[in-house]
Each structure stands twice: as C-alpha cells, then as structure tokens.
C-alpha cells in the first residue's frame, strides 16, 4: 500500500480480513473485468448466484445457502430463520463476541443476566430477547440448559477475534449436543473463520456441524458480501423450500421476509465465484500453508516479546493474528503508531491478517518493523521491559539503538523530532533555509 505522501506499507489489516489472497488478485480482477463488460444490473436472478451458493454448500458441507451484502445482514437473516422455524424468541450470545451492527447484537450482559445495549442509540427493548453469557464456561452451559425450552438459537463466534487463542472445543461439543437434542438452532458466525481456517471453517476445526452458519469477507474476494448456509430445515425458511415448475411441488415451509436491493450484486457474485473456485482448485493446503505461515510469524513475535518481558502477547487463529497488551500502561497506544510509521499498515486494536500473497520477506519485514518500533519505545523508556544489569534492555541488535536525552533540549528552542532512521532527535530552525529545520548533532 502507498499513502498519499508515497510512503509504502505492508498491509496486515487486509480489508478487515476480506482479502485472503492479497490486494486485487489477478483471478478476481479477471472475473470482475469480465462482469463489468457484461453488465452489472441488479434485478433478474443472475446465473452466478446459483454457482456461488453451490460452491458455498460444497466447500462447507451445507444443504443450502443464500446470499446478502454483509456479514451483519447474514447474522440478521440467521436469527430470523431460527426464530421462524422454532417459533421462539430468546437467543443466547456471548460476551466478547462480535456479530456486526444489528441493534440486537450490540449488547452487553450482566452477572444478573440482564442485557443492555452496548452503544448509544440502541433502545433497551431491542436487546430484551438476548441472553448474554460468558463464552466457554461451564456456568454458561448450565444456564443454557435451564433456558433450552425457550431458546430459538445460540449464536456463537466460534473463535472470537478478540480472543483468538481461546478455542473451547469441549464447550462447543457439549453445546452442539445440547442444542441438537432440544431443537434449538446452533448458529456459527463464521464471518471471519469461514473458508479461512479451512474450507469447512471453524465447524471443521471443532468437528461439529452448526444448523446455520453465517459468512462474509473471504467468500466475497474483496467485494461486499454476506452468506447464510445450513440445514434445509432452517434455510427453507427463506424461500419455502425446494419446488419446481412442471409438477405439483410447491414451497411448503413457512417463510420469513429477507431481501435487499443489492443482494446478489453481479460484482460480488463474480468475485465470490472466482475466490471459491480458487479455494477449491488449490485444495486444503492453501489454508494449511497460510495458517502455518501466520503461526510461524506469531511465534517469532512472541519470542521477541518474551525475551524482553514486554507486556505484549500475540495470539492467532488460522491467518488472523492480534497484538494484545497483557496489562494497561501509559502510552501503550504508541506502539501501533510506530509500527505503522515503520511501514506496517495496522489499525489500533484491530485483528490483523496474513494473506497468501505475503512473501517470507514481507513476514520478515513485519517482524523487523515490530522489533524496531519496540526498540524505539525502549530508547525513550516508554514501554515496560526487562532491564539488564547495565540498565540497557536485553535486546537483539536492531538498527535503532541510539539514545538521545529527550528530557531536555540540548540547545535553546530545539524541538523534538525524528532522524531519517526514525530515532528521536532534536531540531532547530535552519538559518540557511527559512521555515525548515536542521538536526542537532549530539
Ligand atoms: C464474526 C463477525 N460477524 C459479523 C461481522 C459483521 O460483518 P460486516 O462487517 O460484513 O457486516 C463481523 C465483522 O467483522 C465479524 O467479525
């Protein structure tokens, strides 16, 4: 990526996880170009809609699939299907999960099992049919058991993007058994995990089949998309079930309403088909290699953090990784800024993603830029770290080691800035170049 000043970055934000194959992969560009030439009108059913939903079903092992524009819409549709089929209202979801921007899922739970909107502008009534519990706990399983008779669904973010290293297999296995027996829909929100961990997403990881799964991001190849896929029993609530012209068949299931002007947009369909075809032809090793690449990078980053006893740990699941502070300390936000200034496109606190287009050199660049950023903070004593007996941090030699006393200007009216290597340095007005500054050599 290049910013408007021409600075170059390695992107690890990657469209919030929607670019699993890097920026503008050729096979997606080709599919979009072809569609652009053919036209992109919406309205009539597009032949690619059938192709894409078939690919989704094939790769995820679902009976049926339907499309929409975003992950949030997919979650909305999944909840609506679950309530239509079960005839019940209450839905369990979990603290720390993210399910998009619908009112109902921007919610926080209390220990007394009250649900409250987690953002301004959401009416308390909007979340009154949500029961919010702690993810992966025995207590949550007990509470779910007590409420099974009144539940329409349990909505799960199977590996929470905010806690990527928490993968509660036993909890999920028990939850699946419990919901199956009670005829409660188990909804896996696979908007991030879908097609990323493996073709079968987090369901493959946990070895369970959800009743409904929601998708987005990867399956749109960078175009706006959402999808719901699952068992016939629930998916039929969108269209009444299979029927055809020319015989006596009719849609028999009770249906709910779900629609949108741009649902099944030709660009999203073309990019989606190209992406899933790519996954299909490359086979499972695509994800296996990408996951291993991410794990290797996270191990390198963690080894560095550990050696310096930094209050930082990296977690990952598949190609998602996240930097987390183990505890609060002043100026903790500086590290994101520095990492970005050192050429890595990150956003404070957001999950990051590696893609199939990141090379080994890119990975090394990301790691080196992180080390450089940490060392810059160490040089300014702005990050807690292990000190050696001589007071210096025990650290690998990285370019940035020069220590400048930033507490007082070396000459009157000097201003603090950075030298060309990014180290802190003092500057004074340059008499030869009005309006410009020159570095004070120390
Ligand atoms: C797990 C999960 N569900 C739902 C969503 C919402 O998807 P969208 O932003 O496409 O509406 C997201 C978005 O990041 C997500 O991570």
Domain co-membership, 182 together with 58? yes
Q: Which of 249-253, 356-360, 433-437 has the lowest mean pLDDT?
A: 433-437
Tokens representing residue 412 in the block: 């009157």
Model confidence at 407, pLDDT cuts 50, 70, 90, reads confident
Domain co-membership, 318 together with 429? no
Domain assignment of residue 358, yes or no: yes
Write down the number of H helices and E strands in the chain.
Answer: 12, 17
pLDDT digits (tens, 9 = 90+) for 115-158: 999 999 999 999 999 999 999 999 999 999 999 999 999 999 99
Ligand 1 atom with least separation from CA of 217: 10
Q: How many domains does the chain have?
A: 3
- pLDDT of 401 higher than 70: no
Residue minimizing CA distance to atom 6 of ligand 1: 100
Domain assignment of residue 407, yes or no: yes
- In this structure, how many other beta carbons lie within 10 angstroms of the beta carbon of residue 155? 25
137 within 8 A of 74, measured Cβ to Cβ: no
3-state SS class at 65: strand
Domain co-membership, 220 together with 132? yes
Domain co-membership, 235 together with 320? no
Domain assignment of residue 96, yes or no: yes
Domain that holds residue 308: 1-22+284-400
Domain assignment of residue 98, yes or no: yes
Cα dihedral 317, 318, 320, 323 in deg (nearest 10): 40
Last residue of a domain, one of 225, 253, 281: 281
Residue minimizing CA distance to atom 5 of ligand 1: 100
Domain co-membership, 275 together with 288? no
126 within 8 A of 103, measured Cβ to Cβ: yes
Query: In the predicted model, what is the mean pLDDT of the chain?
Result: 93
Amino acid 434: pLDDT: 81
Domain co-membership, 370 together with 276? no
351 within 8 A of 285, measured Cβ to Cβ: no
Domain co-membership, 14 together with 54? no
178 within 8 A of 328, measured Cβ to Cβ: no
Domain co-membership, 215 together with 293? no
Q: In CATH, what number is assigned to the domain containing residue 326? A: 3.90.1150.10
Domain co-membership, 102 together with 211? yes
Q: State in Å: Cα 20 to ligand 1 middle.
A: 15
Q: State in Å: Cα 145 to ligand 1 middle.
A: 28
Q: In CATH, what number is assigned to the domain containing residue 260? A: 3.40.640.10
In this structure, the residues whose C-beta lies within 6 A of any atom of ligand 1 are 16, 70-72, 75, 98-100, 157, 161, 189, 191-192, 216
85 within 8 A of 238, measured Cβ to Cβ: no
Domain co-membership, 228 together with 206? yes
- In order, the DSSP letters of 100-155 are -S-GGGSEEE-TTS-EEESSTT--GGGGTTEEEE-TT-HHHHHHHHHHGGGEEEEE
Domain co-membership, 277 together with 288? no
Q: State in Å: Cα 218 to ligand 1 middle.
A: 11
Last residue of a domain, one of 281, 296, 320: 281
Domain assignment of residue 126, yes or no: yes
pTM (2 decimals)?
Answer: 0.87
Domain co-membership, 306 together with 396? yes
Model confidence at 178, pLDDT cuts 50, 70, 90, reads very high
Locate tokens 């909305």: which residue? 76
In degrees and rounded to multiples of 5, residue 188 shows phi and psi of: -95, 120
Q: State in Å: Cα 157 to ligand 1 middle.
A: 10
Residue minimizing CA distance to atom 14 of ligand 1: 100
Ligand 1 pocket mutation, candidates 14, 17, 72, criterion most atoms within 8 A of CB: 72
Amino acid 392: pLDDT: 52
Q: Which of 73-87, 123-137, 310-324, 381-395 has the lowest mean pLDDT?
A: 381-395
Q: State in Å: Cα 69 to ligand 1 middle.
A: 11
Domain assignment of residue 228, yes or no: yes
């Amino acid at each position: 990526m290049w910013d408007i000043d021409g600075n170059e970055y390695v992107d690890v934000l990657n469209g919030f996880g929607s670019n699993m194959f890097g920026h503008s992969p050729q096979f997606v560009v080709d599919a979009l170009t072809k569609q652009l030439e053919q036209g992109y009108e919406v309205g009539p059913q597009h032949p690619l809609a059938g192709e894409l939903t078939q690919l989704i079903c094939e790769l995820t092992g679902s009976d049926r699939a339907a499309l929409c524009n975003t992950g949030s819409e997919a979650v909305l549709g999944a909840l609506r299907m679950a309530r239509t089929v079960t005839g019940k209202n209450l839905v369990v979801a979990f603290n720390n999960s993210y399910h998009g921007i619908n009112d109902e899922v921007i919610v926080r739970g209390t220990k007394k099992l009250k649900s409250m909107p987690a953002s301004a502008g959401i009416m308390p009534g909007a979340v009154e049919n949500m029961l919010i519990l702690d993810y992966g706990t025995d207590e949550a399983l007990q509470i779910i058991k007590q409420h099974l008779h009144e539940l329409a669904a349990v909505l799960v973010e199977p590996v929470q993007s905010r806690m990527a290293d928490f993968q509660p297999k036993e909890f999920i296995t028990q939850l699946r058994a419990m919901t199956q027996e009670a005829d409660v829909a188990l909804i896996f929100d696979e908007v991030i995990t879908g097609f990323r961990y493996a073709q079968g997403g987090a369901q493959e990881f946990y070895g369970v089949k959800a009743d409904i799964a929601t998708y987005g991001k990867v399956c749109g190849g960078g175009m706006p998309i959402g999808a719901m896929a699952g068992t016939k029993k629930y998916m039929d609530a969108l269209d009444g079930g299979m029927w055809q012209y020319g015989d006596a068949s009719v849609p028999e299931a009770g249906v709910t309403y779900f629609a949108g002007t741009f649902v099944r947009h030709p660009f999203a369909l073309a990019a989606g088909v190209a992406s899933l075809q790519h996954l299909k032809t490359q086979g499972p090793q695509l994800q296996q290699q990408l996951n291993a690449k991410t794990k290797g990078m996270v191990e390198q980053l963690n080894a560095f953090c550990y050696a310096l006893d930094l209050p930082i740990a990296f977690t990952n699941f598949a190609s998602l990784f996240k930097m987390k502070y183990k505890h609060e300390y002043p100026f903790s936000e500086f590290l994101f800024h520095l990492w970005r200034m050192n050429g890595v496109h990150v956003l404070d606190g957001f999950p990051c993603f590696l893609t199939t287009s990141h090379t080994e050199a890119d990975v090394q660049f990301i790691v080196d830029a992180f080390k450089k950023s940490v060392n810059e903070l160490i040089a300014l004593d702005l990050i807690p770290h292990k000190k050696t007996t001589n007071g210096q941090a025990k650290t690998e030699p990285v370019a940035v080691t020069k220590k400048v006393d930033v507490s007082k200007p070396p000459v009157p009216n000097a201003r603090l800035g950075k030298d060309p290597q990014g180290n802190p340095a003092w500057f004074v007005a340059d008499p030869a170049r009005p309006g410009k500054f020159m570095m004070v050599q120390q």
